[in-house]
Amino acid sequence: MGELLALIAWIVVLAVVVTVLMRSVRVIRQQQVAVVERLGKFRRTLEPGPHLLVPVVDTVRYTMDMREVVVPFPPQAVITEDNLMVSIDSVIYFQVVDPVRAAYEAQNYIQAIEQLTMTTLRNIIGGLDLEQTLTSREEINQKLRAVLDEATGKWGIKVNRVELRSIEPPATIRDAMEKGARAERDKRAAILMAEGQRQSQILSASGDRESAILRAQGERESAVLRAQADRQASMLRAEGEAQAITTTFNAIHAGKPTQSLLAYQYLRMLPNLARGESNKMWIIPSELNDALKGLGSLAGSAKGIPGEATAGDFETPEVVDVFAEIEAQKKVDEASSAASVQQAIAEAEALEGKRAARLASPGKGNALTGGPIPPAPVAQAEPQLEPGEDQAR
């Protein structure tokens, strides 16, 4: 019985020793610091690692986390300078730099930081209107961080950053702001559209101006070429009419017409004088009497009445080879056409050279073409025919 009691006593003593040893040895984790008190008074701090404490005398009172702590605060209602209520949601990043002061200077440093943040926000936002509050987040963050860092320095806490997560104005203010933003966007769109239309009209006017200038230049050159062609055609037509008149005149004189033939031709032309629907009356010229006299003389000569016409007044024309004359005239026409073509080609080349010279040295020449007026082409004279050939034709 005595041995059993002794055994129980030894077991109890061993358990007490083990318990004391276990309470005397403390292991501190990385990035943590323990605050040790001895009989209720601060003794020392324990760094990460194993440590041996005096049983019953030394006690670990606080264990501080030395890492950076992120504490989000609930939204706070703040009144701006223009008496508008806004809701601000903030978050603070801080770190314990002095565990002893953090343990003994503030009873609950997280709650103290929260309350200090609320009062500081009210002070800062109260001096700003709504527009400045919405556009000055960085400035508000810097002011809030400076105030908090100064106040929490004596608590052994370092405030690293302060961020405003959201600033929510009232619903009516948000609607008004959305309408204002929409109106501003519509204004910018209208301005850009008007600017685009103005640029488009300017470019269109410039294009129309250049097109009108080029069209006028083309019309001027076309008018110059047309005038030259009309002048050449008029000259050729006039020369042809002159040659036709000369040929007709030579043919009439070679035939030796009498007064009676001329009177007969004159009478044949009288109906043409009265032709036309608008002619109400026509005047007979005085030469009609002479023509009638000539016809009377011709009729008297035919009946044996002596008159002016005699048998010897007309001569029998010589026999002419019509086909040979046609072939000869055809050769003459071909030669004249070839010469006209060569002359036109030469004039075109000369005109192109003058145009190039005008472009190289503007300001010289006449007012239409920019160069000297080319000389009028000389029409090739047709060969004179014999009187007998004209009568045969």
Note the pLDDT tens digit of each residue in 2-26.
777 888 888 888 888 778 777 788 8
What pLDDT, in 10s, does the model give residues 68-79? Answer: 989 888 888 888
pLDDT band for position 191 (cuts 50, 70, 90)? very high
pLDDT band for position 290 (cuts 50, 70, 90)? low
pLDDT at 202: 92
The C-alpha R_g of the chain, in whole angstroms, comes to 65
CA distances from 93 to 52, 96, 146, 149, 372 (A): 34, 11, 13, 11, 93
Residue 159 burial class via C-beta count within 10 angstroms: exposed 0-12, middle 13-18, buried 19 and up: buried
What is the total count of domains within the chain?
Answer: 2
pLDDT band for position 193 (cuts 50, 70, 90)? very high
- Same domain assignment for residues 31 and 104: no
pLDDT band for position 384 (cuts 50, 70, 90)? very low
- Please answer whether residues 147 and 120 qualify as being in contact, where contact means their C-beta atoms are separated by less than 8 angstroms: yes
Closest by CA to 148, choosing from 136, 132, 160, 138, is 160
The Cα–Cα gap between 296 and 308 comes to 10
pLDDT at 301: 52
The Cα–Cα gap between 130 and 80 comes to 6
- Which of 33, 65, 97 delimits the end of a domain? 65
281 pLDDT above the threshold of 70: no
- Which of 65, 87, 118 delimits the end of a domain? 65
Closest by CA to 224, choosing from 78, 355, 32, is 355
Query: Is the sign of the CA dihedral 88, 93, 98, 102 positive or negative?
Result: positive
Is residue 73 in some structural domain?
A: yes
Mean pLDDT score, 304-310: 42
Phi then psi dihedrals of residue 30, to 5 deg: -65, 145
Share of the chain above pLDDT 90, in %: 3
pLDDT band for position 313 (cuts 50, 70, 90)? very low
pLDDT band for position 359 (cuts 50, 70, 90)? low
Mean pLDDT score, 111-127: 87
- Which of 108, 140, 169 delimits the end of a domain? 169
- Same domain assignment for residues 71 and 60: no
- Please answer whether residues 85 and 58 qualify as being in contact, where contact means their C-beta atoms are separated by less than 8 angstroms: no
Is residue 57 in some structural domain?
A: yes
Edge-to-edge order in the sheet of strand 32-38: 41-46, 32-38, 58-65
320 pLDDT above the threshold of 80: no
Is residue 274 in some structural domain?
A: no
What pLDDT, in 10s, does the model give residues 36-62? Answer: 888 888 888 888 888 888 877 888 888
Mean pLDDT score, 156-182: 83
Is residue 5 in some structural domain?
A: no
Which 3 state secondary structure label does DSSP give 349?
helix
Is residue 32 in some structural domain?
A: yes
Structure tokens at 311: 């048998």
Which residues are registered as beta bridge partners of 38? 41, 58
- Please answer whether residues 69 and 14 qualify as being in contact, where contact means their C-beta atoms are separated by less than 8 angstroms: no
Contacts of 138 (CB under 8 A, 6+ apart): none
Range of the structural domain that residue 130 is part of: 67-169
Mean pLDDT of all residues belonging to the chain = 76
For residue 28, give the DSSP letter.
E
Provide the CATH number for the domain around residue 78: 3.30.479.30
- Same domain assignment for residues 30 and 87: no
What pLDDT, in 10s, does the model give residues 216-256? Answer: 888 888 888 888 888 888 888 888 788 877 877 777 777 66
- Same domain assignment for residues 161 and 114: yes
- Same domain assignment for residues 54 and 106: no
Is residue 344 in some structural domain?
A: no
- Residue given tokens 């030796």 in the structure block: 256
Structure tokens at 358: 């005008």
Query: Is the sign of the CA dihedral 219, 224, 230, 236 positive or negative?
Result: negative
Is residue 101 in some structural domain?
A: yes
